[in-house]
Amino acid sequence: MVGDVHGDARAFAMAAATERFVVQLGDLTDGGADSVGALRIALELLDHGRGLFLLGNHEHKLARLLAGRAVKADAPLRAMAAGLDAGLRARLLAAIGAAPAWLRRGQAFFVHAGFHTAMLHHPPPPFGGKVEGPLARALFGQTTGRGQPDGFPERVLDWVDRIPAGLVVYCGHDNRSTDGRPLTRRGAAGGEAVFLDTGAGKGGHLSWIDLPAPVDRVGAC
């Protein structure tokens, strides 16, 4: 299982060079030197049945941009999207449209940004609908409605306290690590959240965890 890549294709290639099935937690693009390369690695994993990626907020934005919808996107993302050939654009639209917003395997639960108990009882909605409820939580986490000095929304982790005992939620979206390694936080209900974003493509590095539980190895590159 691989955290946010954010264009660090070199590190993603290292993480993908494994005999294991790769689950990538979303946000393949934006930040690093080679977002297109990261996307191609994700598509190759899909094509060979060796992995999948979850729907992150950056994939959601990219697909809307490729589909010609109105999107707030910076110049690098628009330039990257404009440089994609027609075949790759179509392949990405199909792959992002099919990417799950959340996924459960036994007592492991995978989501990009944040957990909601409704996710335990309902499948992810089809791509293209309104982003609200559990889908908004999956893509953006739990927000307060207030902004931060850096311009990003203020996000809180109250949802961690509602993870049921025995369930481990693996997510990315926010780099909450204090030591360069994935951060584990136990909630009031007995469940756990593991945050795998350790800053790949944004001055940090890419982290991954080998499953099944118990975790037998954590890697960083």
Annotated domain spans of the chain? 9-220
Please give the angle made by the CA atoms of 25, 27 and 30, to the nearest 5 degrees: 160
Residue 170: C-alpha distances to residues 17, 123, 199, 211 (Å): 21, 17, 16, 11
Q: What is the distance between the alpha carbons of residues 198 and 180, in angstroms, rounded to a whole number?
A: 6
pLDDT tens profile 12-55? 999 999 888 999 999 999 888 899 999 999 999 999 999 999 99
**Using the 8-state DSSP alphabet, how is residue 83 labeled?**
T
Distance CA 198, CA 104 (A): 23
Weakest-pLDDT range from 32-36, 143-147, 148-152: 148-152
Q: How many CB atoms lie under 10 A from the CB of residue 186?
A: 14
Q: Tokens for 70?
A: 């109105």
pLDDT tens for 172-214 read 998 888 899 999 999 999 999 999 999 999 999 999 999 874 4
pLDDT at 217: 43
Report yes or no: 41 and 48 within 8 Å, Cβ to Cβ.
no
58: exposed, middle or buried (Cβ count in 10 Å: 0-12, 13-18, 19+) = buried
* Range 9-220 has CATH code 3.60.21.10: yes
